[in-house]
Structure 1
Amino acid sequence: MDFWPEFLASSWGKEFVAGGLGGTAGIVAGYPLDTLRIRQQNSRTGSAFSILRHVVASEGPCALYRGMAAPLASVFLQNAMAFQTYAILSRAFSTNSTGGNPPSYKGVALGGFGTGAIQSLVLSPVELVKIRLQLQGKINENKSQSGSDKGPIHVARNIIRIEGWRGIYRGLTITVLRDAPAHGVYFWTYEYMREQLHPGCRKTGKETFRTMLFAGGLAGVASWIFCYPLDVMKTRIQAQQESSPTKYKGIADCFIRSVKEEGYSVLWRGLGTAVARAFLVNGAIFTAYETALRFINNNHEAIQTENSI
């Protein structure tokens, strides 16, 4: 009976719940743009607008949300663990985070790096299933098929049945290479920008909603620009199936063949869509996270005050 109040009273519990709510807000806010990004990365031609028009006309508006169930089902736990892991690691790597002081910027960057590497173990299979679902219409069109997989569980089972357990972790290495440094940039940019926009807020936690939105949006943009070429390679590696006519032998082979066939511009294909999505999604994530954290803290203080009277 007392588990939930005690859980929320701990810093672990507060950051866990706030991180989960932030991640959920981010998925809901930016999923259609994520679908466009994936389609752009896995195609040779087409602007975001032309792909959007084609998808809506041939598959319907709901196609933009295809595959959302997979990340939505895991995002609460995934982001809750990510923010909690970040909180622990950023303090562990800092030397000045005691006595109410926020973690140092070095601790923030290293904590983000470690968080990205750890969460890749969960994120890689989820993104693999999501990408297969997002490209479902395109794959069926190429095969002249009208059928499609029913949902994330069906897709995951098919991958395991056809490709084995190794198949469900296709792209794990490049996911780690993408996410570890990108998360270091992500959290460092957020902490730095919120302090610049609202001096002293890292210690007081009293920044405005505008600061949360803007700092979170910039953090997302910075991290995506930093890791984008790797994300393009990851999409192409995870999109291929056992039945694909051409298969990449690895990250280097994917990079060399993609650049040779389509030029270096392929490494940045869909960047505009990704940046627009990153600003929207990460502004929502950090705003929801900080707001939930503030609400939980205020609620806990109110309960303590009532109990002391």
Structure 2
Amino acid sequence: MEFWPEFVASSTGKEFVAGGFGGTAGIISGYPLDTLRVMQQNSNNDASAFTILRNLLAKQGPTALYRGMAAPLASVTFQNAMVFQIYAVLSKAFSSSVSANDPPPYKGVALGGFCSGALQSMLLSPVELVKIRLQLHNTTTETQQKGPIGVAKNIWKKEGVRGIYRGLGITMLRDAPAHGLYFWTYEYARERLHPGCRKSCEERLNTMLVAGGLAGVVSWVFSYPLDVVKTRLQASRKYNGIVDCVRKSVTEEGYVVLCRGLGTAVTRAFIVNGAIFSAYEITLRCLFHK
């Protein structure tokens, strides 16, 4: 137990705890829109988010929007804490020539984000697999047991380790470059909105919200086609890998399928990532202000 006070008092420990608060805020604020996004991506028609929402509420009630939230809420809090911790360490490591009191240059920010995105995929991929199966519970025959543990056991029983990590490759392809762009956009946007804030850390809440929201939107627009492929791979076993999924999806539904649900995703990205960075920055200032 003596480890934790020392860890939290360190720079890395502060970023770990603040990142955890950010992850929790992001999940709670954006989960209903995430459910709609997944349903749009896995749909074989061009139904709007509003149509899907109306049908879902009429048939299953508002709780359906939060189905499967337990798994990401429990894991994403830890995952987000790890991402911000790894990013903080690596962005500084890639900027070794910079003074310890100065913020890392944008090159270090991008490289730190890229590596943190690649590493977090190992944890995130199985969680998103379970989440997607739960979110699509009433539209597929795969998830016959309710709850994340039941679904995970069902996947393990039927598909083994390979099934649990189904979609890992595409998750890494999505997250590594997207996280590099994500952190770069946030740092660049906050500096443009409030010059000098990267060093002084004195920006206002609206700066955090807007910069975080823009970072989420830019990274999602960049990686969205890969996210559609990942959702389809993890939702069904009818695809034999990334290339097969892209080929069959495009052949059956056209290239528009790779952008289906983008509007919902962008809206969600602005809300969620504004909340994540705001919670992260506020936690650093309130709990660890010297």
Deviation at 1:193, TM superposition (A): 0.2
Aligned pair partner of 2:258 in 249, 267, 292 = 267
2:285 corresponds to:
294
Unaligned runs of 5+ in 2: none
- How many residues align? The count is 289
Percent of paired sites with the same residue: 69
- The equivalent position to 1:215 in structure 2, one of 211, 216, 222, is 211
Alignment correspondent of 1:57: 58
Alignment correspondent of 2:165: 169
- CA distance in 2 between counterparts of 1:37 and 1:212 reads 25
Distance 1:34 1:139 in 2: 18
Name the CA distance, whole Å, in 1 between partners of 2:71 and 2:16: 20
Q: Report the alpha carbon displacement of residue 75 of structure 1 after superposing the two structures with TM.
A: 1.6
Cα displacement (A) at 1:95: 4.0
* Cα distance in 2, alignment partners of residues 189 and 96 from structure 1: 22
Cα deviation digits, residues 44-84 of structure 1 (max 9, x gap): 22110000011111111101000000000112211110000
- How is 1:193-272 mapped onto 2 (pairs within 5 angstroms)? 193-241=189-237, 247-272=238-263
Per-residue deviation, 1:6: 2.5
Are 2:186 and 2:211, in contact at CA under 8 Å, matched by a contact in 1? yes
**Shift of residue 3, structure 1, vs aligned partner:** 4.5
Aligned equivalent of 1:71:
72
Selected match of 2:185 from 182, 189, 193? 189
SS in 1 for 2:239: coil
Question: Once structures 1 and 2 are overlaid, which stretch shifts more, 170-179 or 51-60?
Answer: 51-60
Q: Which amino acid aligns with 2:258?
A: L
What letter matches 1:238 in structure 2?
Q
Q: How does 1:99-110 map to 2 (within 5 A)?
A: 99-110=100-111
> How many Å apart are 1:150 and its aligned residue?
1.8
Distance in structure 1 (CA, Å) of the matches to 2:106 and 2:200: 17
Q: TM-score normalised to the size of structure 1?
A: 0.91
Report if aligned partners of 2:134, 2:146 keep a CA contact under 8 Å in 1: no
Q: Do the aligned residues in 1 keep the contact of 2:220 with 2:265 (CA within 8 Å)?
A: yes
Residues 239-261 of structure 1: CA deviation (Å, up to 9, x unaligned):
014xxxxx111111111111111
Aligned mate of 1:285, from 266, 270, 276? 276
- Residue 140 of structure 2: SS of its match in structure 1? helix
Which one has the largest radius of gyration?
1
Does the 8 A contact of 2:71 with 2:127 survive in 1?
A: yes
Cα distance in 2 for partners of 1:139, 1:120 equals: 25
Structure 1 residues 297, 44: CA separation in 2 closer, same or farther (over 3 Å shift)? same
1:17 matched to 2:17? The reply is yes
Structure 1 residues 71-103: Cα deviation after superposition (integer angstroms, max 9, x where no partner): 001122111100000001111111443230101
Q: Residues of 2 paired with 1:280 and 1:72: CA distance?
A: 17
Q: Give the C-alpha shift of residue 4 in structure 1.
A: 4.2
Instruction: Judge which range, 249-258 or 168-177, deviates more.
Output: 249-258
Greater than 4 Å deviation, 4+ residue runs? 1-4
